[in-house]
Amino acid sequence: MHKDTTGILKQFWGYDDFRGSQKKIIDTVLLGQDILALMPTGGGKSICYQVPALAKDGLCIVVSPLVSLIQDQVSQLKKKGIKAIALTGGIPPSELSDLLDNCVYGNYKFLYLSPERLQQSIVQERIQQMNVNLLAVDEAHCISQWGNDFRPAYLECSILKELVPETPMIALTATATPPVVADIVENLELENVKIFKDSFSRSNIEFRVKHSKDKLQQLKKYMERTSGSAIVYVRSRKTSISLANFLIKNGISASFFHGGIPKSDKEDKLNLWLNGKVRVMVATNAFGMGVDKADVRLVIHYQIPDSLESYFQEAGRAGRDGRPSTAVIITSNEDGDKAKQQFLSTLPDVAFVKQVYSKLNNYFQISYGELVSEPLSFKFNEFCKRYGFNPNMAFNAIRILDQNSVLLLAENFKEKNTLRFVASKTEIFKYLDKNRTTAPMIQTILRTYGGITDHQTIINLYMLSKKTGTAEANLKQLLQRLAKDRIVEYVNNTSDLEITFLVPREDDHTINLFANKIKDFNQVKQNNMAAMLGYVSNKRICRSLYLLNYFGEKTSEKCGRCDICTKKKVVASPHDLENRVMELLEIRPHTSRQLEKAMGAKEKELLKTLEHLLEDERISLNFKNEYIKK
C-alpha cells in the first residue's frame, strides 16, 4: 500500500498540488513502469522520483554527474528531515563500507552516487543487499555521445537493471534532442518505457538577442529598465569580477560568483542574492545548478555560450514563478569569432590529451602503474605555465579525461595552512609579554597543536577562529606578522581545483581505450557551436520556435514577444546572407536544409546565394552533397 503522494508533497515541500506531468509520472512510477521524463529547467524533476520513493518502503538510488548537485540535493533532503547519503569522491574505504551498511540497515531513503562510483565492485555488491524501491538517473542526456555533457561512465548505469531486477527506473533530463532521447532509451535498456514530455515552452520568458557595439551600456540599460533579481552569465572569472564592479559603480547592487571562491564566501554571496540583499549575480556557469530562486526576472548572457543546451538551461532560470521575465544575449560583431576561438580552436586531439595526461602524472609525481586515490589540490594555472600549455586547450583535455573516468575534476576551493614556531621558548615568552593583546591567541595555538615547535603542522583556521573568537582574516594577519617577526614559519597554500585519479597510470594505453571517442567529442562541440551561432545570427524565426524545434518539439505558434516577433520587417541583403553562410561553413560542412534551418533564411534567397558563392568558387560541394568552404 502506497502512502498518499499529495500528502507527502504538502508535508515536505509545502505545495498543495503537483504541476505539469508530475502526478502522472509519479503514478506511473508507483505502477512499476520504466519512465523517461523530459521536463524544462525549473519543471520540478527531482520531485518525480523523490515523492514516489517516500511513498514506498525501501531506498531510492539516484545517479547524478555533478558532485555539487549531489551535495545540494542531499543537503536539501536532510533539511526536510529525510535520511539521505552521498557517495562522492575522496571517501576512505572503511568509511565507504560504513555508509553502504547504513543504506542496507539504516532505514535511509536516498543514496546519491556518481556513475564512476557505481562501477566499484563493493558498491555493486552492497546494492544487491539493499531494499531498492526505485532507480533514478538524473541528467540522463549524459549517457548519449550526442548529448552536451556526454560521460561514458553513464553507459554503465544499465548495470543497475542487473543488480536489482524488477525495480523500475526513471531517467530525467531537461536538455534532450530527439537523437539523445533515442540513445537514453537504448543505453539504459528501458523496458516498455513510458515517455513523458512536458512542453519546453517557457511562454512567460521573452527571449531576445541584442546586437550592440557598446555592450556595457546595453547591460546597464537592461538593468535599469528591468526590476527584480537578475543573473548575468559570463565565460571567465575575471569578467565576472569586472562586470560586477561596473554595475556597482553605476549604482546597481551586484556581486560575482565563480568556482575559485572559498566555500564560505560562496554561501555568503548566494544567501545575499537569494534573500534579495544583492540584486544581480554576475557568474560563470559554476552558478545556478540546484539553486532554487523563483523570482529571477532577467537572465543576461554577456558572452555566447558553447551550446543551445547550456543556453536554454541557464536562460530557463528566469521566471520560474511563471511571471513575465526576460532572457537576452548581448552580443557584438566580434563575439562569434571569440566563441569559436575559445570553444573550437582549442579542441584537443589524441596526441595532446596523451601529453596532458603524462604531464599531470609528472606534476603529481605519480609513477607508472601507481594509483593515488586521495583527492589532490591542483593549481591549474601553475600547471599550464610549467609545461607551456594553452589553458583553454589543456582544460578541454582534462575534461575529456574526466568524462572518460580517468580522473575526477572538481571545482573546490581549498586552503592549507601550515605553521611552525621557530623562536626559542625564551624568545616566545618575551614576545608574549610585549604583545599582550595577541598573547591569548598565540597561547591557544600553542596549546591546541602539540609538536608545533618541532615541525611544520597543518592548522585549522576555522577551528581556531571559533576557539579564540577572532575572525579568520585577523588570524591570518597575526600569523603573517609572527612570520615577519621571525617567531614562526607560516605557509598558506590555496587551490580552487581538485583532481582524483581513478585508474593507475598507464600513459598511452589509458588514452588508447577511448581515442576514437575524442574525435566524436570534437564533432559534437562543433555541431553545438554551429547551432548556437545559428540562433544568435537568426533574423527570421521566432526565438521560442527556434529553441523548441531544436529540442524536437514541433509547433508553429510564435511567442509574439521576442525580438524577431516584434521587429519591423527588413529584407536581408545578399551580402548579409553570404557572410552568414560563410560563417557557418567555417565551422563545418552544411547541407542547404541545415543552412536554411540555422539561418532562418527563405529557401529561394538562400539557394540564389549558394549559387552565387559556387560561381565565385568561394564554396564547393563534397561527396555528401554538403557545402564546404574553399
Per-residue pLDDT tens for 471-511?
888 888 899 999 999 999 998 877 668 888 989 999 999 99
Tell me the three cell numbers of residue 4: 498518499
Structural domain includes residue 40: yes
Structural domain includes residue 602: no
173 and 311 fall within a common domain: no
Structural domain includes residue 510: no
**Domain finish residue from 486, 501, 517:** 486
214 and 102 fall within a common domain: no
Sheet holding 407-421, edge to edge: 376-378, 488-501, 407-421, 457-459
pLDDT at position 286 is 66
Domain coverage including residue 314: 200-326
pLDDT at position 109 is 95
18 and 126 fall within a common domain: yes
154 and 231 fall within a common domain: no
pLDDT at position 520 is 82
Tracing cell 549531489 back to the chain, one arrives at 70
Which run of H or E residues covers position 54? helix 47-55
174 and 224 fall within a common domain: no
pLDDT at position 191 is 87
Range list of H helices, 493-629: 508-512, 515-537, 543-550, 563-566, 574-587, 592-599, 603-615
pLDDT at position 288 is 67
pLDDT at position 193 is 93
pLDDT at position 175 is 79
238 and 210 fall within a common domain: yes
183 and 267 fall within a common domain: no
**Domain finish residue from 291, 311, 326:** 326
Distance CA(154)–CA(116), nearest Å, equals 8
Instruction: Name residues of the chain where pLDDT drops below 70.
Output: 1, 89-90, 148, 286, 288-290, 411-415, 495-496, 568-573
CB burial class (10 A; 0-12, 13-18, 19+) of residue 572?
A: middle
222 and 191 fall within a common domain: no
Alpha-carbon 318 to chain mean position: 17
Angle formed by the axes of helices 461-468 and 472-484, nearest 10°: 100
**Domain finish residue from 132, 165, 197:** 197
For residue 283, the domain's CATH number is: 3.40.50.300
Structural domain includes residue 121: yes
Interval 427-456: pLDDT, tens: 999 999 899 888 999 999 998 888 888 888
Share of the chain above pLDDT 90, in %: 49
Using the CB atoms, write b or e for 526-562: b if 16+ within 10 Å.
Answer: bebbbbbbbbbbbbebbbbbbbbebbeeeeeeebebb
226 and 167 fall within a common domain: no
81 and 103 fall within a common domain: yes
Structural domain includes residue 367: no
Structural domain includes residue 187: yes
Domain tally for the chain? 3
Distance CA(90)–CA(288), nearest Å, equals 24
pLDDT at position 498 is 83
- Which amino acid, residue 271? N
159 and 31 fall within a common domain: yes
Structural domain includes residue 457: yes
170 and 213 fall within a common domain: no
Structural domain includes residue 393: no
